[in-house]
Copies of this chain bind each other. A is one copy, B any other.
């Protein structure tokens, strides 16, 4: 408290400016003088000193796969909104799905004195001795709250939609093995398929490969499906970004979307509506998930005892029907 010496002690100033309970013994007139002086001198508390003293940095660490198009950025937008509102800042680190980076990032964040951590689609996270919220990390440890989509419902929405249109020969593209949504989603799909009395043909299942984000993995996975020479009239992909790659591969093979093959994506990222054709997709409330994560971590930081860590928070998906799905073509001999 540099120049605040208009005759009073730093202690009094601090109490008044922070509205501490002890400030109630200081008369209104003095308080006003202090506020006025702070305003006039444009006093800015030093966050480092404050953080040091209070043992709280007002920063949370956010761990994402990458800051590129699609999934993580949408969640991040929600996180940013809610954190800023709570006057928290955040450190962002991308781990590119490399496990040693995930671990190192977590340590670096703790070293940087973050008050809590939010991890998006980050497997293998350890439990630090800090409030921690994960988004789509189903194998979360004890004491970590995981925000997760209702995968079962998501799978049903997509499958029931396709089956309702008359499709029976449905191909699937699973997520990369490193993505934590891959397994639960796939289980949910099998379950929904069984429920719809559909058999999942192993030859009609491909998996995204390679760790770059973009559309390529979906493009190549679809090429593999086509190469297997098994007929399918619909394709349900792991996410919108790969669906876009898939559409391209189908087109290049001379197939029309949706007349020859219907395509259903997942996520409903911003560009899904502007694809050609507009992508039918299972929407995840990504922004909301981000907001929930941020609010939860702030609660756990500010009042840990009142908010014991919930095991998980489940959010519901929604089907968005656009132009990439339609009834299957008339069955000619395959």
Give A residues with C-beta under 8 Å from B. 44-49, 51-52, 57, 66-70, 73-74, 76-77, 80, 84, 89-94, 108, 110-113, 213-216, 219, 241, 244-245, 247-248, 251, 269-271, 273-276
Contacts and interface: CB of A to CB of B under 8 A. Distances in A.
Given A91-B91, A93-B84, A270 B69 contact: yes
Contacts of A269: 69
A5 B248 CA distance: 65
A110 B47 CA distance: 10
A53 to B, nearest CB: 9
B73 A67 contact: yes
B274 A215 contact: yes
Nearest to A219: B274
A90 B112 CA distance: 11
Contacts of A68: 73-74, 77, 270
Across chains A and B, which 7 residue pairs bring their CB atoms closest together, nearest first? A215-B274, A69-B69, A48-B52, A48-B51, A89-B91, A214-B270, A67-B73
Contact of A244 (B44, B49, B73, B274): B274
Contacts of A67: 67, 73, 76-77, 80
A184 B84 CA distance: 33
Contact of A251 (B94, B112, B244, B276): B276
A241 to B, nearest CB: 8
Contacts of A275: 276
Contact of A44 (B57, B111, B276): B111
A69 B66 contact: no
20 contacts: A44-B111, A45-B111, A47-B111, A47-B112, A47-B113, A49-B52, A67-B77, A68-B73, A69-B73, A73-B73, A77-B94, A80-B94, A84-B93, A89-B108, A90-B92, A92-B92, A215-B273, A245-B274, A275-B276, A276-B276
A70 B214 CA distance: 12
Contacts of A276: 247-248, 251, 275-276
A129 to B, nearest CB: 12
Given A48-B48, A67-B73, A76-B67, A271 B215 contact: yes
Contact of A113 (B48, B93, B241, B248): B48
A272 B46 CA distance: 45
Most buried by B among A44, A57, A92: A92
A274 B276 CA distance: 11
A262 to B, nearest CB: 16
Given A244-B274, A271-B271, 7 more contacts: A45-B111, A48-B57, A69-B69, A69-B271, A89-B108, A90-B92, A251-B276
A246 to B, nearest CB: 10
